[in-house]
A and B are shown apart, each in its own frame.
Chain A
Amino acid sequence: MPETLDFTEWQAFPAVMANYPQMLEFVTAGAESADVPIKRLMKLELGFEEAVVNVINYAYEDTGTLYLRYTKTVDDTGHFTVEIVDHGIAFNPFKLEENMHNTQNAKSLDDALPGGLGIPFVKKIFTEPSYKRENLLGAEANHLVLPFKI
Chain B
Amino acid sequence: MEITDSKKNNWLVLNIEGRLDTVTAPDFDKYIATVDNSEVNIALEMSALSYLSSAGLRCLLKLSKALSAKNGSLVLASPTEMVQEVLEESGLDSLLDVVDSVDDLK
User: Are A114 and B58 within 8 A (Cβ)?
Assistant: yes
B: residues with CB less than 8 A from A are 21-23, 50-51, 53-55, 57-58, 61-62, 64-65, 68, 82, 86, 89-92, 95-96
CA A21 – CA B23 in complex, angstroms? 8
A96–chain B nearest beta-carbon distance, Å: 14
B91 touches A103 (CB 8 A): yes
Cβ contact within 8 Å between A17 and B91 = no
- Distance, CA A108 to CA B92, complexed state (A): 10
Q: A21-B23, A104-B91 are in contact. List 4 more A-B contacts (CB 8 A).
A: A50-B54, A103-B61, A109-B68, A121-B54
Partner of A117, one of B50, B51, B57, B96: B57
Q: Are A120 and B90 in contact (CB under 8 A)?
A: yes
On whether A109 and B95 interact (CB within 8 A), knowing A49-B21, A104-B90, the answer reads yes
A4 interfacial by beta-carbon distance below 8 Å = no
Give the B-binding residues of A (Cβ under 8 A). 17, 20-21, 42, 45-46, 49-50, 53, 103-106, 108-110, 112, 114, 117-118, 120-121, 124
With A17-B22, A53-B22, A109-B95 as contacts: A46 and B68 at CB distance below 8 Å: no
Which of these, A17, A112, A121, contacts B92 with CB under 8 Å?
Answer: A112
**Set of chain A residues within 8 Å of B89, measured between Cβ atoms:** 120-121, 124
A117–B95 contact, CB under 8 A? no
Complexed CA–CA distance, A117 and B90 (Å): 7
